[in-house]
Structure 1
Amino acid sequence: MLNLTYEFKLKPTAKQVAIFEDWLEQCRRVYNYALAERKDWFKSRSCQINACSIRSEYIIPADTPRPTYASQCNALTAYRKTSDALQSVQSQVLQQTLKRLEKAFVSMWEQNHGFPRFKKAGNMRSFVFPQLGVNPVHDRGVKLPKIGLVKFHQSRSIPDGARVKQARIVRRVSGWYVMLILQWEVSIPSILPHGEGLGIDVGLTNFIATSNGLLVKRQRFFIDAQRKLKLLQQRVSRKQLGSNNWKRASEKVAKLHEYIANSRKDWHWKLADQICQDAGTIFVEDLNLVGLSKAMLGKHCLDAGWGQFFTILEQACFKRGVYFQKVSAHKTSQICPNCGVETGKKQLSERVHSCSNCGYTTDRDVAAAQVVLIRGLAAVGHTVKMLGEDKFVGIPATQESSPL
């Protein structure tokens, strides 16, 4: 079974836009009410037995069970009968809002994410239809429950045999979008390592360096627009909060952020397609992206967007039948790819790798990419050919068991 997401820009009428905005507001209120109920329950259990809190008390009976997704869905069903505003919203859309809150708590418990926060007015930007009718997409539009047919710009056709399972309506500064989740009842064979192998190392000076010597400079999308962004944000701060001038100035800031994100994503896609043309197997570093984003150069790491690039590269490899795998990034810049000897930690100013053991010299990023390739080849059993093997020798047979 294969699931893919197709995104189209909607062309709703003024009446449909009013419905979308009203549904987003109702979803926000349901989310905040459910979050407040859960938060009050947790705080009532955190009070000490022999002392009262000076700030506030949460008097909830001891036998009251913890609010869950199931219990809050039951309470929502009963409350919808007394609220005309909630009755106007499709019931499954509100249930998906509660499921979003449940996922936020699961992420807090299992992935050490922060405690879920209340959403301010305008912060809820999407809602989901988990089920659609039969053949919901026709006449360049999508038929949504309780809303009807909404036209969209069909930039590509829906493949034959695909079923539309879900639809997510998203509000952005550039307009309204629909994300259709398509499902195929097909079994797709897994891609095996084949062809020529390519190792990729990412960095801030060079966005990528490949094992065959390709160096691509990093594009500074956010840094180049930072001066204009600062000017627009200053104009927002000088407007009265909530006024029409404040909304127009905030919209300009949002448009600039969206332009930066779209430019970065477009560049990542073009670079990924270029890389996949010459290789049958690609290996990249398995980096701790969260830790890098919190380091001293975190702003530059986020501007580079390595995580998004790896996701896009994996998708491009899947479409082109290229094998993709992540390998350990431990000490890739401290090992000689020619002899396997650890050369020690290099300073950021050292841009050349020179091995004192075998005399192999090359760019430090290219050497790291070659180490990534060697580790990947060792992981898949050396079943593919090294791309650009005329440029470096690779680890000899006596070094194949070394922990690279």
Structure 2
Amino acid sequence: MLNLTYEYKLIPTDAQRETIDQWLTICRKVYNFALRERKDWVNSRKCDVNSCSIRQEYTIPADAPRPTFARQCKTLGQAKQLIPELKLPHTHVLQQVLRQLEAAFVAMWDRGHGFPRFKQRMRSFVFPQLNLESVQRFEGADWVNLPKIGRVKIHLSRPIPEGFEVKQIRVVKRASGYYAMLTLQCDVEVPQALLSGHGIGIDLGLEHFLATSDGELIDRPRFFVDGQSKLKSLQRQLKRKKKRSRKYSQLQHQIAKYHEYISNSRKDFHFKTAHHLCDQGQSVFAEDLNLKAMSAGMLCKHTLDAGFGQFLSILSHVCFKRDRYFAKVNASGTSQTCPRCQTHTGRKELSERVHQCSECGYQTNRDVAAAQVVLQRGYAAVGHIAVNFGEGKLHE
């Protein structure tokens, strides 16, 4: 089963914008209420049954079951009889909000994420099931059918591939407007690309965004750092305005649009770089980095600005789309190994930008040497060929 997600710009009417904003507000209230219910249940069980804590006590009966997704969905149906506002959004939309909360708790339990937090705003909602023809051509324009909202004009920037069906629609509100993310599904199995052709190893860093095993160095654009002065100016102006005034809202919108511009610029660079790598070789190997640790270090701002996690995800997608082999290898010690003789050269200081092996005399850029080691480890992981750099030879 092949799934794709295409994003399109929506062109709603004023009434439809008001409806979407109202639904987002209701979704936020449902999410926060359900989280509050779960949080209260947890807090009521933090002290012993026969004694009360100084900080909390049993405000919920001891035999009350733990709020789960199924129980909260059942409670939501009962709440609709008392709160008419909950009848406005589609039922499946509110159920998906509760499912999103359940996923946040599962991520906390299984993957070590933090405790879910209350939302100040909800940015999207999803229609998980569609019974009608979702995207239609009518009166010379393209429309998308959204349950209980109606037909909304859509800018179909690229056609939906033949053989794919729209299974899910997520409506997203951003500073630049409203968007529809269409999840497309086709009943085919696409095999993973096989290792073949010219291979490329890449090493990600901050001195250069990446270095390839072929010796190419790609500079790192500083998207957020370069735009930080403008953001500071806008936020300084915002601080002087009266809250909830017209000018305050205008500046908030400008700041949000500039953040979106930075995000779009970074994503555009990642896609272009990924396609460039796929043009250079048929197999791409990258380091399996500990991104969480990197984003918490001394250079966290620059690491997050580079967006290594997003780039690796985009690179994997582009390689799959263009039938290129992609794999990650162990990142431990790639900058401490000589790619020619495999000698452990020891830890290098960050200021040391040249790799020079004392055993074989091989000398090259430090990041290029690390990328060559990544390529060697990628080939070794699949039992393919070994690359001996510095002599221009390939051997089995």
Q: State the TM-score bracket (shorter-chain normalisation).
A: over 0.9
Deviation at 1:241, TM superposition (A): 2.2
Deviation at 1:114, TM superposition (A): 1.2
1:182-235 C-alpha deviation (Å, 9 max, x unpaired): 000001122110011110001001111000100011111111011111111111
CA shift in 2, pair 1:395/1:335, >3 Å: farther
1:320 alignment partner, one of 314, 322, 329: 322
On the 8 A contact 1:338/1:395 being kept in 2, the answer is: no
Match of 1:19 in 2: 19
Please, which runs of 5 or more residues in structure 1 have no aligned partner?
A: 398-404
On the 8 A contact 1:142/1:149 being kept in 2, the answer is: yes
Moved segments of 4+, more than 4 Å: 389-397
Deviation at 1:396, TM superposition (A): 7.7
Match of 2:200 in 1: 198
Q: What is the DSSP-based 3-state SS (H/G/I as helix, E as strand, rest coil) of the residue aligned with 2:372?
A: helix
CA shift in 2, pair 1:393/1:338, >3 Å: farther
Match of 1:133 in 2: 131
1:9-34 C-alpha deviation (Å, 9 max, x unpaired): 10000010011011011111111111
1:161 alignment partner, one of 160, 163, 179: 163
Work out the CA distance in 1 between the residues paired with 2:52 and 2:289. 47
1:238-273 C-alpha deviation (Å, 9 max, x unpaired): 222222222111111111111111011111111111
Equivalences for residues 44-59 of structure 1 within 5 A: 44-59=44-59
Equivalences for residues 1-400 of structure 1 within 5 A: 1-120=1-120, 123-139=121-137, 140-382=142-384, 392-393=391-392
CA shift in 2, pair 1:138/1:391, >3 Å: farther
Work out the CA distance in 1 between the residues paired with 2:210 and 2:173. 33
Work out the CA distance in 1 between the residues paired with 2:391 and 2:347. 21
Q: What is the DSSP-based 3-state SS (H/G/I as helix, E as strand, rest coil) of the residue aligned with 1:370?
A: helix
Query: Given residue 45 of structure 2, which amino acid in structure 1 is its aligned partner?
Result: R
1:87-139 C-alpha deviation (Å, 9 max, x unpaired): 1110000000000010011111111111111122xx11100000112321112
Work out the CA distance in 2 between the residues paired with 1:380 and 1:392. 23
On the 8 A contact 1:337/1:394 being kept in 2, the answer is: no
Deviation at 1:49, TM superposition (A): 4.0
Work out the CA distance in 2 between the residues paired with 1:271 and 1:114. 33
Moved more, 243-252 or 103-112: 243-252
Q: What is the DSSP-based 3-state SS (H/G/I as helix, E as strand, rest coil) of the residue aligned with 1:146?
A: coil
Moved more, 210-219 or 126-135: 126-135
Work out the CA distance in 1 between the residues paired with 2:198 and 2:51. 69
Work out the CA distance in 2 between the residues paired with 1:395 and 1:62. 70
Deviation at 1:390, TM superposition (A): 7.2
On the 8 A contact 1:40/1:58 being kept in 2, the answer is: no
Work out the CA distance in 1 between the residues paired with 2:149 and 2:217. 51
1:143-164 C-alpha deviation (Å, 9 max, x unpaired): 0111111111110000111010
Deviation at 1:51, TM superposition (A): 3.9
On the 8 A contact 1:338/1:394 being kept in 2, the answer is: no
1:35-88 C-alpha deviation (Å, 9 max, x unpaired): 111111000000234543345534211111100000000010111123221111
Moved more, 47-56 or 337-346: 47-56
Q: What is the DSSP-based 3-state SS (H/G/I as helix, E as strand, rest coil) of the residue aligned with 1:225?
A: helix
Work out the CA distance in 2 between the residues paired with 1:45 and 1:269. 48
Give me the identity figure in percent.
Answer: 55
Q: How many residues are matched?
A: 392
Provide the TM-score with structure 1 as the length reference: 0.94
Work out the CA distance in 2 between the residues paired with 1:66 and 1:349. 55
On the 8 A contact 1:127/1:168 being kept in 2, the answer is: yes
Q: What is the DSSP-based 3-state SS (H/G/I as helix, E as strand, rest coil) of the residue aligned with 1:47?
A: coil
CA shift in 2, pair 1:85/1:392, >3 Å: farther
